[in-house]
Amino acid sequence: MNIAPSLLAANFGRLEKETRRADASTADWLHLDIMDGHFVQNISFGPAVVKTVRPLTKLFFDVHLMCSKPEILLEPFAKAGADQMNIHVELGERVTHLIWAIRSLGKKVGLAVNPPTAISMVQPYLDQIDSLLIMTVNPGFGGQAFIYETLPKVQQAYAWRREKGLNYNIGVDGGVDFKTVADCAHAGANSFISGTALFHLRSMKAGVKKMRKIAENSAPNESEGK
């Protein structure tokens, strides 16, 4: 179970404080959304910001590259302190090389899939990745409503993981709050990326605890073969 606050929802005027808040929250990962103004219609922050917050926490840095040319960004983000880098399957034939490039940098590999993209697109890569990131909103902005139609993808990813005997994480990203987290966990997700629902709380620690509990209580029972 990985609870991952997304820094995109932080108050950017107080990034140090916000990072420390996430650090003290008992979360597992810090999710860092990188938007290039081309792959998505928004720009967030770059390696310099990741490097700045890196010494403030020991949290696992899960970098989500919503970028058209991740090739030129992998090394800078690796050097800035990423632990895992997620690239998008929508990049097509470049995915194989990108996975290899992330591995060569000694980092964990994540593969993200947008709501309109078929889950079958990720199937060829499942034995090469550490994490599958199922987008539950169209990427670009925080605070959007969860798209329920993406849940069958989580179920499929969960079924494949069992069938193939693999152990990639199944992450959900976008609109994950205290209600939708239960549906995601029930469908088989084990990594929960949550920006607005966690950062906009007075106590992120209480929020992380609550989210983890709901996720644990909603997770399929492995022994029942669900």
Using CB under 6 A as the binding rule, the residues of this chain from 168 to 207 that contact ligand DX5 are: 173-176, 193-197
Question: How would DSSP label each residue in 8-70?
Answer: GGS-GGGHHHHHHHHHTTT-SEEEEEEEBSSSSS-B---HHHHHHHGGG--SEEEEEEE-S-G
3-state secondary structure of 144: coil
Interface with Zn ion includes 88 (CB under 5 A)?
A: no
Q: Is 82 in the site for ligand DX5 (CB under 6 A)?
A: no
| Contacting residue, 18, 29, 33, 187, with Zn ion by CB under 5 A | 33
Neighbouring-strand partners of residue 66: 35
Question: Of these, 100, 143, 148, 206, which contacts ligand DX5 (CB under 6 A)?
Answer: 143
> Closest separation between CB of residue 187 and ligand DX5, Å?
17
Annotation marks residue 23 as catalytic: no
Catalytic residue among 62, 127, 130, 173: 173
Nearer to ligand DX5 (CB atom), residue 9 or residue 53: 9
**Mapping DSSP to helix (H, G, I), strand (E, B) and coil, where does residue 77 land?**
helix
Residue number with the smallest Cβ distance to ligand DX5: 195
Q: How far apart are alpha carbons 182 and 67 in whole angstroms?
A: 30
173 is catalytic: yes
Query: Whose Cβ is closer to ligand DX5: residue 57's or residue 144's?
Result: 144
- Interaxial angle between packed helices 180-187 and 151-164, expressed in degrees from 0 to 180 and rounded to the nearest 10: 30
Taking CB under 5 A as the rule, does residue 173 contact Zn ion? Answer: yes
Q: Which is the catalytic residue, given 23, 33, 130, 183?
A: 33
